[in-house]
Amino acid sequence: MPENHTVAVIPGDGIGPEIIAEGRKVLDAAAHRYGFGIEWVEHDIGAERFLATKQLLTDDDLDSLSEVAAIYFGAIGDERVPPGILETGILLRLRFALDLYVNLRPVRLLPGVVTPLAGKRPEDIDFVVVRENTEDFYVGIGGRFRETDRRTLTVERELYELTFSVDAESDADEIAYQIGVISREGPERVIRYAFDLARRRRKKVTSVDKANVLTEVYGLWREVFTGVARGYPQVTSEFNFVDAVTMWFVKNPEWFDVVVTPNMFGDIITDLGAMIQGGLGLAPGGNINPDGTSMFEPIHGSAPKYRGLDVANPLATIWAGSMLLDHLGEHEAAEGVLTAIGKSVTAGVTTRDMGGAAGTRQVGDWIAKELAKR
Ligand code: IPM
Ligand code: MG
């Protein structure tokens, strides 16, 4: 009996439904070719439902999403909803509620893809960013104060003592703060994941942080990293500061194999990673809970201005689909999808962000057809 995988799908907003349609098309073609089945369970989570019902993510959504083998996620974000509401209420909530503590983002230059880095070839750009996905500055702890709500707020550190003056006539003294939280368990599990991954690759892990300034949170991160690294004597490890790593990604991407980093820096450096691998239209990500349901998505957003125009690049979503298949244990199919993506690029069947003239659907059709070839 061929295996049947149940996959939840959240097309979302903007270009989400269009790119997810191509992803499903390609994954169905891969399932047919490699002899397994995918049963899709569609969810209407997103801006449209939020505007109609005020619901972001319901308990029912979470119950049903936690039962499937994997989630295929398009994009969320809509110009009719103020920024932050859908992002935190849906995407970040899913990452937290399902404890998707690994955000896995490959940075890999596929053959035929043009990188803005002069002289770099596919063998030079092939690393993976393992971004911690549940802590750090994403925990949402913070507040804003005006003198009316704030009687005294004193921040004392070894180097500074700050007190804020009260001026009832102006709001010039308004302050906001938001804090990052790192638990011992947070880095522990994600760093372990990074080392396990490196063991199957080129055996090098780079920790990216800012322990020279944010000494408490990233001091703990480094301490945990050092402890975990001791258990992997066959893997080389190193520390980089995040500002420096943005230089090295551009100058010497070949230095990197597995990069592990706290949530916020992971967010930032993976957009840089996306550019060096050929653009945001090509960058996939997996939000992984190794013991539960995982979710796969393009790392770009919903790009509402391109909605319905058949111009969005579906490759990031299709590549995320390949990661999803890999996660389900369909390794051959995952590799097949990635190879077919590379062939479509080499054949020049690309959307205009990659210099081509093909539409979203045309790219999906081409790759699905390629997979059907024997
Ligand atoms: C990403 C995105 C999200 C993030 C946003 C949309 C909340 O930028 O997945 O990288 O910051 O994690
Ligand atoms: Mg981001």
> What's the pLDDT score for residue 170?
63
Q: In the listed set 250, 277, 304, which residue is the last one of a domain according to the structure?
A: 277
Ligand 1, atom nearest to 270 Cα: 10
Q: How confident is the model at residue 147 (pLDDT cuts 50, 70, 90)?
A: low
Whether the pLDDT of residue 307 is over 70: the answer is yes
Mean of per-residue pLDDT scores for the chain: 93
Is there a single domain that holds both residue 301 and residue 255? no
Q: Is 210 a catalytic residue?
A: yes
Q: In the listed set 261, 277, 293, which residue is the last one of a domain according to the structure?
A: 277
Cβ 94 under 6 angstroms from ligand 1? no
Is there a single domain that holds both residue 20 and residue 91? yes
Q: Is 101 a catalytic residue?
A: no
- The arithmetic mean of pLDDT across residues 100-115, rounded, is 96
Is there a single domain that holds both residue 42 and residue 119? no
User: Does 110 map to a domain?
Assistant: no
Distance 237 CA to ligand 1 centre (A): 27
Is there a single domain that holds both residue 215 and residue 253? yes
Whether pTM > 0.85 for this model: the answer is: yes
CA-based torsion, 312, 253, 239, 177: positive or negative = negative
Is there a single domain that holds both residue 41 and residue 119? no
Is there a single domain that holds both residue 350 and residue 298? yes
- The arithmetic mean of pLDDT across residues 5-30, rounded, is 98
Ligand 1, atom nearest to 267 Cα: 10
Is there a single domain that holds both residue 205 and residue 151? no
- The arithmetic mean of pLDDT across residues 36-50, rounded, is 97
Model confidence pLDDT, tens digit, residues 184-210 = 999 999 999 999 999 999 999 999 999
Q: Is 271 a catalytic residue?
A: yes
> What's the pLDDT score for residue 153?
47
Is there a single domain that holds both residue 41 and residue 171? no
Q: How far apart are CA 103 and CA 289, in angstroms?
A: 9
> What's the pLDDT score for residue 172?
74
> What's the pLDDT score for residue 155?
46
Is there a single domain that holds both residue 159 and residue 40? no
Is there a single domain that holds both residue 35 and residue 171? no
- State the residue range of the domain holding 13: 1-104+283-374
- The arithmetic mean of pLDDT across residues 283-308, rounded, is 97
Whether the pLDDT of residue 157 is over 50: the answer is no
Residue nearest atom 9 in ligand 1 by C-alpha distance: 299
Between 81-95, 142-156, 226-240, the lowest mean confidence (pLDDT) is in: 142-156
Whether the pLDDT of residue 218 is over 90: the answer is yes
What CATH code is carried by the domain that includes residue 374?
3.40.718.10
- The arithmetic mean of pLDDT across residues 32-46, rounded, is 97
- The arithmetic mean of pLDDT across residues 219-227, rounded, is 98
Q: How distant is the alpha carbon of residue 188 from its chain centre? A: 19
Is there a single domain that holds both residue 365 and residue 310? yes
The residue to mutate among 267, 272, 299, having the most atoms of ligand 1 within 8 angstroms of its beta carbon, is 267
What CATH code is carried by the domain that includes residue 132?
3.40.50
Is there a single domain that holds both residue 272 and residue 221? yes
User: Does 93 map to a domain?
Assistant: yes
Whether the pLDDT of residue 75 is over 70: the answer is yes
> What's the pLDDT score for residue 46?
97
> What's the pLDDT score for residue 145?
81
Ligand 1, atom nearest to 299 Cα: 9
- The arithmetic mean of pLDDT across residues 32-53, rounded, is 97
Whether the pLDDT of residue 359 is over 90: the answer is yes
CB 127 within 8 A of CB 107: yes
Q: Which residues pair with 287 in a beta bridge?
A: 103, 295
Whether the pLDDT of residue 238 is over 80: the answer is yes
Q: In the listed set 160, 178, 196, which residue is the last one of a domain according to the structure?
A: 178
User: Does 316 map to a domain?
Assistant: yes
Cβ 75 under 6 angstroms from ligand 1? no
Distance 85 CA to ligand 1 centre (A): 13
Ligand nearest to the CA of 268: 2
Residues 6+ apart with CB under 8 A from 72: 7, 8, 9, 10, 20, 23, 24, 27, 295, 296, 297, 320, 321, 324
Residues 6+ apart with CB under 8 A from 333: 30, 31, 33, 34, 36, 325
User: Does 109 map to a domain?
Assistant: no
Domain count along the chain? 3
- The arithmetic mean of pLDDT across residues 309-329, rounded, is 98
User: Does 212 map to a domain?
Assistant: yes
Catalytic residue among 72, 138, 193, 218: 138
> What's the pLDDT score for residue 166?
46
User: Does 134 map to a domain?
Assistant: yes
Q: How confident is the model at residue 306 (pLDDT cuts 50, 70, 90)?
A: very high
